Amino acid sequence: NPSSEFSKKGGIPPGSSKNKKNSPKASSTLPKKSRPPENLALWLQFNGFTPRPDARFSKEFSRLAQHCKWDKEDCKKYRILLFDPEFDGHCDDDASSLESWQLLCHLCSINPAPDSIPKCKNALDSIFVNIYKAENAKLTGKPHLPFKTFQEFLHYTMKPGNRYPLKKAKKDEQKRIFLKRLKGDATQ
């Protein structure tokens, strides 16, 4: 069980703010990343669970869910609480930063990255990438290959635990770019 501070706030504990000054530069080869210490602290709040700093988010989350014996509702809640700091900690989410958009392009196998923010947005909007897959790319440093077709994307995204909450994605410009209309819903 997480500490009461984490539970009460329903989000990031104090002291785990985003560092926008030191955003990673976009490059064609991405270094392997590990969880920043403040994100590891989130995972360590679950009694008896030892996180693996270099593990992919999805694998580590599955391991934690089994450890805690969570049901579907708990999995939904905790996936977001743990995922958002991971996403924000590995990518400068400054929507006005060209470097931030170029890094996102590289993470989604768009090389070379476009030379302007509007071109980056157009390139990202034209591909099929699951938000959780983009996070795994940031953690591993290995770019994610977008789904080749909308049907492949839909098949993957409709599986339990693969849909990022619509309301949260709409609030973040870099996550919002990945939203696609699924079976009548604009969601991811």
Name the pLDDT band for 148 (thresholds 50, 70, 90). very high
What is the residue whose two structure tokens read 């900690």?
A: 89
Q: Looking at residue 31, what is its pLDDT? A: 47
Name the pLDDT band for 16 (thresholds 50, 70, 90). very low
Q: Is residue 162 located within the same domain as residue 101?
A: yes
Span 26-36, pLDDT tens digits: 344 444 455 55
Pairs from 178-186 (Cβ < 8 Å, separation ≥ 24): 178/124, 178/129, 178/130, 178/131, 178/134, 180/128, 180/150, 180/153, 182/154, 182/157, 182/158, 183/154, 183/158
**Residue where a domain stops, chosen among 64, 85, 106:** 85
Give the containing element (helix H, strand E) for 181.
strand 180-182
Residue 20 is assigned to a structural domain of this protein? no
Q: Is residue 112 located within the same domain as residue 62?
A: no
Q: Is residue 81 located within the same domain as residue 101?
A: no
Q: Looking at residue 21, what is its pLDDT? A: 34
Contact of 72 with 160, CB cutoff 8 Å: yes
Report which of residues 136 and 92 the model is more confident about: 136
Percent of the chain with pLDDT over 90: 26
Q: Is residue 73 located within the same domain as residue 137?
A: no
Would you put residue 105 in left (φ > 0), alpha (ψ -120 to 50) or beta? alpha
Q: Is residue 80 located within the same domain as residue 98?
A: no
Residue 99 sits at φ, ψ, to 5 deg, of -60, -40
Q: Please list, in sequence order, all residues whose beta carbon lies within 8 angstroms of the beta carbon of residue 148, skipping any fewer than 6 positions away.
A: 128
Report which of residues 113 and 36 the model is more confident about: 113
Q: Is residue 133 located within the same domain as residue 112?
A: yes
Residue ranges making up the domain that contains 60: 55-85
pTM confidence score: 0.60
Pairs from 8-11 (Cβ < 8 Å, separation ≥ 24): 10/81, 11/81, 11/84
Identify which of 84-88, 93-97, 166-170 has the greatest average pLDDT.
166-170
Q: Is residue 131 located within the same domain as residue 161?
A: yes
Q: Is residue 116 located within the same domain as residue 150?
A: yes
What is the residue whose two structure tokens read 């504990």?
A: 13
Q: How many domains does the chain have?
A: 2
Name the pLDDT band for 4 (thresholds 50, 70, 90). very low
Q: Is residue 74 located within the same domain as residue 141?
A: no
What is the residue whose two structure tokens read 């014996």?
A: 69
Span 42-72, pLDDT tens digits: 888 888 998 887 777 778 888 999 999 999 8
